[in-house]
Amino acid sequence: MKTFGWRPVAAASKQVYEELKEVHPILADIACFQSAHINHLTPRTLDIQASQRRMKEDGLAVKERIEGPPLRNCPILLRQTSFLALEEPISFPERCGALTEGSHKARFGEIEERGAAVTSKGRELYERLMAEAMEKISLPRDTHDAGEQDRILSQVFAQYPDTWEALRKERLVYFMYRCGKGSEVQRVPPGLSREDLLARGVLEAVPITYEDFLPLSAAGIFQSNLGKRRDSSMDVHAAFFDKLGLEKALGCAVKDLDQVYAEGQEASLRSCSRALGIDEEFLLSS
């Protein structure tokens, strides 16, 4: 734990710290301290709206709005919020050997609510609607408060199906399939599609929980803890993905998230087909 523990004495003078902080707070956080301290942990909550409300009631300084998709009947991907970084005392060493007292803000408390993992088709729709919402929020600039931003986001995302049945039929979300209670001992008529089997209760479908990163939401969390007001337009810049560079640095291959979820869904269907005596390929393609 000492490796990532918080140290009360910085590794740089207060002057150097202030100079680097002026360039960027993250630069000062990385360069001016003795250890690579953990700046936050991210516990999961089942109701992020309630968590946000409770933090405010308890007097914590929290983000103005929850990052990620809007509130939905069928949650998708990831929603995140946090209480803001605390002002913590820190001592800065000077050349004369004395310590100058100061403070630093870095460690904050993030909370997340995880929804269903979306397919590549579902991700494309999510990104298109998010871009549309942010374009509306950014015009005119700096005139939409948090409540108005959430209203615009919800309005735009009304285009995203919000029942598990619709999400499944349109192949927008990954599901784990299992045999319905007692279905293994039933004689299943041949030629029934996946939806037929679900309608008869022979199959059951449970959304697969999204267990990955959501870059734009994470960026919003970090931005709110940098000590500078985030531009309410939530500008998005074109991303540059260097998967090969990351794999080289890690020394191993990085799994494709869609492949992981798709393989889980396929494996569950194959297991059901064997238990029910149904042709595997037919069940997968129907």
CA atoms within 13 A on the CB side of 43: 8
**CA–CA dist 262, 81 (Å, integer):** 29
Helices (H) and strands (E) in the chain, counts: 11, 6
**CA–CA dist 27, 206 (Å, integer):** 43
Q: What is the pLDDT of residue 33?
A: 87
* CA dihedral (188, 193, 197, 199) positive or negative: negative
**CA–CA dist 114, 50 (Å, integer):** 14
Residue with tokens 């000077």: 94
Q: Indicate the pTM of the whole model.
A: 0.80
Distance of CA 89 to the CA centre of its chain: 31
CA distances from 241 to 57, 210, 215 (A): 40, 21, 12
Q: Walk along the chain (286 residues) and give the pLDDT tens digit of each residue.
A: 566 667 789 999 999 999 999 998 888 888 898 877 666 678 889 999 999 999 999 998 888 889 999 999 999 999 999 888 888 899 999 888 899 999 988 777 888 999 999 999 999 999 999 999 988 887 765 556 788 889 999 999 999 999 999 999 999 999 999 999 876 657 788 888 999 999 999 999 999 999 998 876 666 665 665 555 444 444 555 556 788 998 999 999 988 899 999 999 999 999 999 998 888 898 898 8
